[in-house]
Amino acid sequence: MTPVLPGSADAAGQPATLGVMGGGQLGRMFVHAAQRLGYFTAVLDPDAQSPAGRVSHHHIQTAYDDPAGLAQLAGLCQAITTEFENVPAQALQALARTRPVAPGAAVVGIAQNRIAEKAHFASCADRSGVSCGPYAVIETLAQLQAVQADRADLLPGILKTARLGYDGKGQVRVRTAVELAAAWAELGGGACVLEKLLPLTAECSVLVARGWDGRVVSFAPQRNVHVDGILAVTHAYEGNMPPALAKSARDATVSIAHHIGYVGVLCVEFFVVDDGSEHGGLVVNEMAPRPHNSGHYTLDACDVSQFDLQVRALAGLPLPPPRQHSPAIMLNLLGDGWFDASGQPREPDWPAVLSLPGTHLHLYGKSPARPGRKMGHLTITGPDVASVKTVARRAAGLLGLPGLDGI
């Protein structure tokens, strides 16, 4: 990888341009980070009103697998990334024939399929020191019947589609063999994974950035609170989890990134389970081959954000170890907050929220607001953890956010 330097130009005099597949909020924040360094940007997304497309130098409004659109993106850009894992792997393969693409199609393909992802975690468990929880693959009626007959230890559990399930979608909790069969039919009778329900005490995630040269830097693990399968609160400060667990999570994430030769920003999510030890044990849950919702606090609490590192890794620039300068709590803002208790549209009370010290509001430019839709996030920073928690509780109360008991 020859570095793509900020402010440089190609042989035709065109400014250095970085591309991103996907035009959502993660793409938007990537675009902002790239533009701060002086790069031009290009976004490929079919939505004319995509958040990233609206702020980029170029918006290629085509399907992700459109050959003409992909050729146009490759012609504009010196290097290309993706903002979400469900971009067709074939599209990334096509782009990689002429341009550096990070992360690559093979890595993204692992994250697209829970079956492949579980197998990957199992293959590097000896090296990472952390394994995934008990599970079974169900792709056929015969496999379903085998699990019903021989794997009662997996119940109660959660049945998840192998593909396209996220933020609580494509998932059904099951307690019995009869419920398992009904859930499999409800999910379409296709490829699924049955995961045993574990006694969780907490959830956490780790963000790392790995360069083309194999250098890895990381943020400290963040502790996460989910409501109905969607991230509600992220705690990012020293002492948010026991040091030994934090080290294990970070070491495991670095090991996973090395194992697959990852390039870019990678997030790995973990469960902390009650295993009888003082602080519990770690179980790896899933990975995201991109920046992550739980890392949005880095925009306001760190000297380089996860998006800064995504740009640097893609462009082949040096990766400085990030330094967090303020404790932080991030609150996810879903479209539910744009409606009152009777379902009538309303505007959140931004003046009251922004009058609180240390509040940083990020809205993603999405319209219209819908329940469950990620509209933005609010990060609270301050001089100490106690003051950050106090402001976060007040802000969550003003906005009617869930997860107050998790602050």
**H/E run at residue 20:** strand 17-21
Cβ contacts of 116-125, under 8 Å, gap ≥ 24: 117/286, 117/287, 118/193, 120/256, 120/259, 120/260, 121/256, 121/284, 123/259, 124/255, 124/256, 124/259
Residue pair 156/124 in contact (Cβ under 8 Å)? The answer is no
Strand partners, 172: 159
Do residues 185 and 204 share a domain? no
Residues 173 and 307 in one domain: no
What would the two tokens of residue 142 be?
Answer: 């015969």
Q: Is 59 annotated as a binding residue?
A: no
Asked whether the predicted pLDDT for residue 167 surpasses 90, the reply is: no
Q: How far apart are CA 38 and CA 32, in angstroms?
A: 10
Question: DSSP 3-state assignment of 344?
Answer: coil
| CA dist., res. 306 & res. 26, Å (int) | 10
Q: Has 171 been labeled as part of a binding site?
A: yes
101, 126, 148 - which closes a domain: 101
Q: Which of the listed residues 101, 125, 152 is the one where a domain comes to its end? A: 101
Any domain includes 368 = yes
In a domain, 9, yes or no: no
pLDDT tens digits along 65-98: 999 999 999 999 999 999 998 899 899 999 999 9
- Between β-strands 374-381 and 359-363, what pairing exists: parallel, antiparallel or unpaired? antiparallel
Say if CB 252 and CB 282 are below 8 A apart.
Answer: yes
| Domains in the chain, number | 3
Residue 196 assigned ligand-binding role:
yes
Report the pLDDT averaged over residues 270-294.
Answer: 90
What CATH number should be reported for the domain holding residue 41? 3.40.50.20
**Is there a binding annotation on residue 73?**
no
> Do residues 290 and 384 share a domain?
yes
Ligand-binding annotation for 382, yes or no, is no
CATH number for 176: 3.30.1490.20
Coil, helix or strand at residue 122: helix
Q: Are residues 213 and 165 in the same domain?
A: no
Tens-place pLDDT, residues 361-405? 999 999 999 999 999 999 999 999 999 999 999 999 999 997 778
Claim to verify: residue 233 and residue 274 sit in the same structural domain:
yes
Range of the domain at 238: 200-406
What letter represents residue 328's amino acid?
A: A
Q: Is 118 assigned to a binding site?
A: no
Give the global pTM. 0.94
Q: Is 279 annotated as a binding residue?
A: no
Beta strands 264-273 and 200-210: pairing type? Answer: antiparallel
CA dist., res. 304 & res. 306, Å (int)? 7
User: Do 353 and 367 lie in a common domain?
Assistant: yes
Q: Name the average pLDDT for the chain.
A: 94
State the SS3 of 244-310. Answer: HHHHHHHHHHHHHHHHCCCCEEEEEEEEEECCCCCCCEEEEEEEECCCCHHHCCHHHHECCCHHHHH
In a domain, 2, yes or no: no
Q: Quick one: 28 and 157 in the same domain? A: no
Same domain, 187 and 280: no
* pLDDT beyond 70 at 107: yes
Residues 272 and 303 in one domain: yes
* 113 in a labelled binding site: no
**Over the stretch 30-65, which tens digit does the pLDDT of each residue have?**
999 999 999 999 999 999 999 999 999 999 999 999
In a domain? residue 317: yes
Q: Which of 180, 196, 212 is the last residue of a domain?
A: 196
**Residue 6 within a domain:** no
Task: Classify residue 374: in a domain, yes or no.
Answer: yes
Inside any domain, residue 318: yes
pLDDT at residue 338 is higher than 70: yes
Q: Do 242 and 380 have their domain in common? A: yes
195 marked among binding-site residues:
yes
Q: Is 86 assigned a ligand-binding role in the annotation?
A: no
Q: 70 with 158, same domain? A: no
Q: How far apart are CA 320 and CA 175, in angstroms?
A: 47
| Shared domain check, 208 and 169 | no
Q: How far apart are CA 130 and CA 148, in angstroms?
A: 27
Q: Is residue 165 part of an annotated ligand binding site?
A: yes
Q: Does 117 show up as a binding residue in the annotation?
A: no
Give the CATH number of the domain where residue 309 resides.
3.30.470.20
